[in-house]
Structure 1
C-alpha cells in the first residue's frame, strides 16, 4: 500500500466534513433569515397593520396632492354664503364673485356639481339631488339637530348620518350639514392660486397677456404678487430652503474645521502619547455614536429652537465622523514629503502646512462635499425639530392635514434641492480635486 493510499482516507473524511459544513451553512443562513422575517412579521403586527390600512384614505391623500377643493359654505344662523379655495380665508372669493358653477336666486343658492348632481341651499332646507339614488334633504335646527329625509331603503355606505350631522360623499363632491353650517366642496385638478391669489389683478390672465404686461413695465408688480402669494407663501418657502442649506453648510464645514486639528491627536505618527491618542479616538466615537437627531433634541432644550441649533447638532455629529476619517488619512501620509519639507529648515507648523495638508486635501474636500449633500437631507428633518427650514413647513402642512397639495409642493422642492446639492457637490469635487478637464 502506497503513502498516497494511506493518506486518502483521512483527506476524504476532511473534505466530506468541509462540504457538509458548507451545505449546512447554505441552508442555515436562508432558514435563519426566513425565521427572523417571520418573527418580525408577528412582532410588529404586520397582518394587523394591513387590516387597519385604509385604502380610501390613501386614495384621498393621493388625490389631494395633485388637486384642490373649492368650498361653498353657508352659515345656517345668518344665511351668509361664502366661497373659498381649500376653505381658507386667504383663498376666499371677493364680495360679489363666485365660482361659475354656483348661482344664487334670492335666498336660494344652487350648486351644480355636474353629471346631474345638484345641491340647493334653501332658506331653511338643504337638498342634494343624487342621480340614481334620489333627493336627500336636511333641515338644520339648533334645538333638534339635523333632520334628514332620505329615499326609502338601506343607508348607503357613502352617507353618514347622525342626529347632529349629515355627510354625503360622491364622485361629484361632498356635502356636510351640521346645526351651524352647510358646506359643499368640489375637487379640481391642479394647484390653484399657485401664482396669483383671487385678489390679485393678474389672477386668471394667460401667459401671453402676463408677458405683454411684464414687457410694458409691470414685471416688478407681477413678480411681487407671485413672491407674496398668501396661499403658497413662495417667499417664506425660499427663505426656508435657504435656512436648510445654511444649516447643512455651517454644520458640515464647521465640523471639518473642528475635526482637522483634533485628528492629529488621534494618529500614531503625530501623537506619540498613547493616552492622548486613545482619549481623542473615544471622543470621536462618542460624538458620532449619538445620532444628530438626538443631539438636536438635547441642544433644542439647552439653547432653544432655531436653525443654528440644527447646525450645531450636525457639527457635533460630523466632528466625530470627520475626526475618524481625517485621522486615518493622516496615518497614511507619505513621510518622505514631510522629510523633504523638513530638510529645508521648515518649522513643525510649516511641515504640517506644506508636507501634510496637501496630501490629505483631496480626502478632506471629498468627504466635506459628500457630507454637505448628505446633510442637506438631514437638515430637512432636523429643521422640523428645531423650528427652521423647509422641514418645519413640511411638518406643519402634514400635521394640519388640510392642504396635501402643499405637502406635495414641499416634497418636490426638497427632492429638487437635494438633486441640485448633489450635482453641485459632485461638480465642485471634480473641479477642486481632479481639476477642470476642459482646461487641459
Structure 2
C-alpha cells in the first residue's frame, strides 16, 4: 500500500486542478438539469391544464373512428304503417344497392321481420305492436302501440330510454333506435364495401369467378366496349371510393414534391456559391444571400401555400411554388455551409496552374460537394412528399385536399383510411429509394 504525503498530494492537486477543484457547474450541472426538466414538466402540465384535458377528452371517439376505418354499416329503416304493414327503406346510397334482399333480414309468417345484427346473439324482431331486442343473453320487448315506446320490464344497462325514443347499444355490431312508428337499425360489417365495383357497375355483387369469366371470355355487356375495358372504367370511376380521382391527386402530390424540390435545388445551387465566404469574398453579398435564405425558410411551407393559393387559386401550382420557396431557403443554407467546409487544398492546387474560375470550381470543388448535395436534396425531396400532403389540405392541391374533404364529412372514415394507407406506402417507397441512393452516392452501406 503506497502512502502519499502532504507535499505529494499538493503537487498532484496543483498539476490536475480540474479534478480537485471542480466548478459549481461541474459538480451540480447534472442535478440542475434534472431539476430544470422537472420544473418545466410541471409548468407544462399547469400551462396546458393536462388533468382537465384528459378528464374531458372524448376517448370513446377513438374507438368509433378506428372501427369506421375498417368497417362499414347498413342502415335499414322499418316504418310501421297505419294498416299494420311494415315498409323497409334503405338510405339513398346504401352499400347494398337500390333493391337489396340481404339474407340477414327474414320475413316471418306472422308479418314480423327479424334482423340478425350479429348472428343469433344480437337480433331485432319488428312487428306492429312491439319490437324485441335480443342482446347480451336477454330479450327485451319494447311496446310501440302507445304514444311513446315503452320498455317492458327492467331496462338493461345497454339500453337508454328517452321521451320519444329508445336506443339500444349493441356494441361494435351496431345499434337500434326505436320510436312509435319506425325502427332504425345500424348493422356493422368488417371490411370496405364496394371497394372494387360500386352499386352502379354491371359487375356489382357478382362472385369473383363470374367476374373473371366475363372479363376473359364472356359475352360483351356493352356492344361497343370490351368487358375488360368496362371493368377498368367501373373501378377507375367508382363513385364511392373515387379511385381515379384519388390516384390522380396522389400523383399530383408526388409531382408537386418533385417539381418544387427540383426548382429549389437548381435555384439554391448557384446562389450558394455566392453566399459561401470562401468562394465569394464579398461579405455584403454573403450576408444578404444568407439572410435571404433565412427569410425563405423561416416562413413555413404551409404559410407560403396560403399566400400562393390566394394569388393563383387552389391547385398544384400553388403547392409546387410553396415547396420551391421553402426549399430554396433550406437547400441554399445547406449548400453554402457545405461549400464553406470543403478542403481548399485541391482548389488552391488547380488555381495555381492558372486555370479559369469555372475549371477551379469544376475540378477543385465539385468532386467534394456533389455527393453531399445530392444526398441533402434527396432527403428534402423525401420530406417534401410528406409536406405536400399537408399543404394540400389548405387548397394547394394533391391528395391532401382530398383527404381533408373526406375528414370534414365526419362520415367517410374508411375513405380516409384508404388515402392514409396510400400515403404511407408512397412515403415508405420514397424513403427506401432515397436512402439507397444516398448510401450509394456516399459510398456507405445501407442498414
Name the TM-score, length of structure 1 as normaliser.
0.84
Deviation at 1:204, TM superposition (A): 3.6
Tell me what 1:52 maps to: 56
The residue number in structure 2 matching 1:99 is 102
Match of 2:374 among 353, 365, 368: 365
Query: How far 1:436 moved relative to its partner?
Result: 13
Looking at structure 2, the residues matched to 126 and 269 of structure 1 have their Cα atoms a distance apart, in angstroms, of: 89
Compute the displacement of 1:345 (Å). Answer: 7.2
Pairing 1:119–2:120 present: no
RMSD: 3.5
Q: Is the 8 A contact 2:149 2:179 kept in 1?
A: no
Aligned to 2:431: 422
Contact residue 275 and residue 290 of structure 2 kept, 8 A = yes
| Aligned equivalent of 2:222 | none
1:33 maps to: 37
1:90 and 1:231 in contact (8 A); partners too? no
Q: How many residues align?
A: 426
Alignment-derived partner of residue 187 in structure 2: 186
Aligned pair in 2 of structure 1 residues 307, 88: CA closer, same or farther (>3 Å)?
A: farther
Shift of 1:413: 1.0
The answer on 1:137 being equivalent to 2:138 is: no
| CA gap 1:238/1:36 in 2 versus in 1, 3 angstroms | same
- CA shift, 1:416, in A, is 0.4
Report the Cα distance in structure 2 between the residues aligned to 1:390 and 1:139, rounded to whole angstroms.
51
Question: Do the aligned residues in 2 keep the contact of 1:117 with 1:128 (CA within 8 Å)?
Answer: no
User: Whole-Å Cα distance in 2 between the matches of residues 15 and 263 of structure 1?
Assistant: 46
Moved more, 266-275 or 351-360: 351-360
Q: When the two structures are superposed, what TM-score results if normalisation uses the length of structure 2?
A: 0.82
Cα distance in 2, alignment partners of residues 169 and 218 from structure 1: 45
Q: CA deviation at 1:164?
A: 4.4
Q: What does 1:66-81 correspond to in 2, within 5 Å?
A: 66-74=70-78, 81=88
1:139/1:375 Cα in 2 relative to 1: closer, same or farther (>3 Å)?
Answer: farther
Give 5+ residue unaligned stretches, structure 2.
218-225
How many Å apart are 1:372 and its aligned residue? 0.8
User: Runs of 5+ in structure 1 lacking a partner?
Assistant: none
Distance 1:239 1:88, change over 3 A: farther
Report if the CA contact (8 A) 1:256-1:319 is conserved: yes
Separation of aligned partners in 2, 1:381 and 1:349: 41
Matches within 5 A, 1:302-381: 302-333=311-342, 335=344, 337-338=346-347, 347-349=356-358, 351-353=360-362, 355-381=364-390
Whole-angstrom distance in 2 between the partners of 1:71 and 1:352: 71
Q: Relative to structure 1, is the Cα distance of residues 366 and 15 closer, same or farther in structure 2, using a 3 angstrom cutoff?
A: closer
